[in-house]
Amino acid sequence: MQKKLFIPGPVTVAEDVLEKMSTQMIGHRTKDASVLQRSISDKMRKLMYTKNEILLSTSSGSGLMEGAIRSCTRKRAAVFSVGAFGDRWYKMAKANGVPADKFSSELGKPTTPEMVEEALATGKYDLITITHNETSTGIMNPVEEIAEVVKKYPEVIFCLDTVSSLAGTKIPVDELGVDICITSTQKCLGLPPGLAICSFSQKALDAARQVENRGLYFDLVDLYDYIQKKDYQYPSTPSLSHMYALDYQLDRIMEEGLDNRFARHLEMAKYVRSWANKHFEMLAEEKYASNTLTTVKNTKEISVKDLNNKLGEKGYMISNGYGDLKDVTFRIAHMADTTLDEIKELLNIIEEILNLK
Ligand SMILES: *Cc1c(COP(=O)(O)O)cnc(C)c1O
């Protein structure tokens, strides 16, 4: 049976968006391809509140995370981790021979501006990575406060992982001074997995040009230069199918209105949080709770696997915990095109299955 997905990616994709994936191919070195990529870039700039260039990558979000840390670290990277995805960024640095240090928070706790200040004050780092929304713990980091600190260090390239939050909550890239803001299609954007997108500042470009070994496929300078040289084309063959669907989905997003979209996500988040507090507990402190997914502490020691099996019979799917949190938490995503009514329907069925009524 087809299940409605309440997992933090991939999400259920609207039928009309899915249909766009089956649009017939065009040559990727044609004017039409340029028009398509330019159209996506213009709309992504609105969604990210930025004037910076937009780079696409035929990969999932991880590709651009690896590309960013490798392409733009000249001296040493400070990687701030609040869970699985910050840890992954550190592993990418190591695997690429990029000098890096990791600054971890306790699971369920945020990266604080004080932590960032302490690291940057050493003068050792010229790039930092922050996870905006940690999908394992359901933490949304205080990015405005962190940004205030980073602004004091103009030589530092600010990389932000917004894979599970962009298009679900407002991330004003230019106001925050984010140099590289990274996302991918299968979470709040509401598309199938397979395309990554980032904003790329002039400062990041200038930094990257000083780095000798940037690789090639995920070299952000190569992606950037191709856009300039070939009028919004891609160095290799991009996933045109994703591009059609993304261009269309961005129109749907603008039709809903960005403020409305962010308000819908917040409304769903508040509903799930209050449900979680009533029947279980939340892993994140309320102040740092994510607007796009909720990680619930499994205080009743239910079998999440059994719950998901029973949900599956009714056509729904939620997510168990991630990594070390596998059995002690479960996660409910409320992202992309999900509605409050669908969330209510899901929680109602969970209550029935668990006899919580
Ligand atoms: C899903 C996710 C990633 C990985 O993205 P992929 O598109 O699967 O490569 C990275 N960071 C966060 C916060 C995520 O939620």
Within the chain, which residue ranges are assigned CATH 3.90.1150.10?
Answer: 4-9+258-354
Mean pLDDT along residues 313-336: 95
Assign a CATH topology to domain 23-254. Answer: Aspartate Aminotransferase; domain 2 (3.40.640)
38 alpha carbon, distance to own chain's centre: 22
Annotated binding residues for substrate, as ranges? 331
> What are 118-170's pLDDT values in tens digits?
999 999 999 999 999 999 999 999 999 999 999 999 999 999 999 999 999 99
Q: Whose CA is nearest to atom 2 of ligand 1?
A: 163
pLDDT-derived band at 227, boundaries 50, 70, 90: very high
Mean pLDDT along residues 264-286: 97
Mean pLDDT along residues 349-356: 97
Ligand 1 center–CA 267 separation, angstroms: 23
167 alpha carbon, distance to own chain's centre: 9
Within the chain, which residue ranges are assigned CATH 3.40.640.10?
Answer: 23-254
pLDDT-derived band at 1, boundaries 50, 70, 90: confident
> What are 188-223's pLDDT values in tens digits?
999 999 999 999 999 999 999 999 999 999 999 999
Annotated binding residues, as ranges? 331
Alpha carbon distance 44, 290 (integer Å): 22
Q: What residues flank ligand 1, with Cβ below 6 Å?
A: 9, 60-62, 85, 131, 133-135, 161, 163-164, 184
Closest-lying ligand 1 atom to the alpha carbon of residue 63: 9
- pTM, whole model, 2 decimals? 0.98
Q: What pLDDT score was predicted for residue 40? A: 98
Q: Which of 56, 163, 166, 218 to mutate to test the pocket of ligand 1 (most atoms within 8 A of CB)?
A: 163
From 195, 242, 197, select the one nearest 25 (Cα to Cα): 242
Distances (CA, A) of 235 to 54, 92, 227, 282: 14, 23, 8, 44
Burial class (CB in 10 A: 0-12, 13-18, 19+), 80: buried
Closest-lying ligand 1 atom to the alpha carbon of residue 135: 15
- CATH class for the region spanning 4-9+258-354: alpha beta
Q: Is the peptide bond before 10 cis (omega within 30 degrees of 0)?
A: yes
Ligand 1 center–CA 164 separation, angstroms: 7
